Amino acid sequence: MPTEVVCLSNATVCSGTDCLVPPSNFNDILSLVLSIVLTTMLAMVMFAMGCTVDAKKLWGHIKRPWGIFIGFLCQFGIMPFTAFALSLAFNVLPVQAIVIIIMGCCPGGSSSNIICFWLDGDMDLSISMTACSSILALGMMPLCLLIYTSLWTSADTIQIPYDSIGITLVSILIPVALGMYLKHKKPLLAKKVLKVGSIVGFALIIIIAVVGGVLYQSSWTIAPSLWIIGTIYPFIGFGLGFGLARFVGQPWYRCRTIALETGFQNAQLCSTIVQLSFSPAELEVMFAFPLIYSIFQLVVALMSVGGESLTCRHTNSQGWTMPKGSQDQVEARPGQMEHYSKLE
């Protein structure tokens, strides 16, 4: 006696023992919800980071953009060339070389601003560099991709999501401006907001890395060469950015800032570009790289913050703490002693 076939309630077509069920869009819905939540959290964090920014010093960096210019050389000179060199050295597949170069051509991400605060960098310079690199990316990304990807593909096949870059700019500039206004009007409240926002921001970076790993876990089976490049590339970016800044005589706290702005790339933007530009079959061998890079740039940042906290802190007679090596920052930025608060 044949067994009766019972179709699922959401089946659209049933024929004999075959039932056609619509594909699950759970991951798409989850991705959309998380994107909205994370964007909202990022805006709140950047509002808190804006509470550290001094409008006069920010304008000073824009009027005398020496630090911004060094960051520009690192961001759109060192990083794309390093990506190109690594792709050739490891002889990766063409589509893998392209995603590595796309990552190298992306502007800095807002995560660098959060880590800059924890590493006692120059927040005014960090935010101005992030904003400027996002603006300059509108022209520099197509140019760098034209130069470095021509060996493997035509740059015309790579779609740059200008709307995503615009959203990044808005999510940085508007909350930072509101934070600066709060600092000007209510400095005591701004300090409280900063303390909460800096902790939330650090948690946000970790959440983004974990969420990306969970949503796209099927992309982790890739060639060892891509793992190696994703591991060493952030270290190279941070190291070369710091070295160039120190070579031209920048103080230590600005060297840390420029290093962060160089090594931290907008991995979300890279992921968006490859999704828009390549077929599902190509994505299988290239989509994991932005996730790998974002994880190891976070590892570098955690190592830096941990090292700063464990080995470079000392206490003065009043009991407040200040990272070792920050004396040059205090001398260069008088009146900023409140920046060194106990975050217990």
194/331 Cα distance (integer angstroms): 23
pLDDT for residue 28: 62
pTM score: 0.73
CB 120 within 8 A of CB 56: no
Q: How many CA atoms lie within 13 A of 141 on its CB side?
A: 27
Token representation of residue 82: 């390093």
The DSSP letter of residue 340 is S
pLDDT for residue 320: 45
pLDDT for residue 7: 54
Beta bridge partners of 13: 20
As a CATH number, domain 52-308 is: 1.20.1530.20
pLDDT for residue 29: 66
Q: Please choose, from the candidates 118, 117, 123, the residue with its C-alpha nearest in 3D space to the C-alpha of residue 180.
A: 123
pLDDT for residue 90: 92
Domain boundaries, the chain: 52-308
Blockwise average pLDDT, block size 10, the chain, 344 residues: 51 51 55 68 79 79 82 90 93 87 86 82 86 86 87 72 78 83 85 80 70 59 82 90 89 88 84 78 76 82 68 47 43 41 38
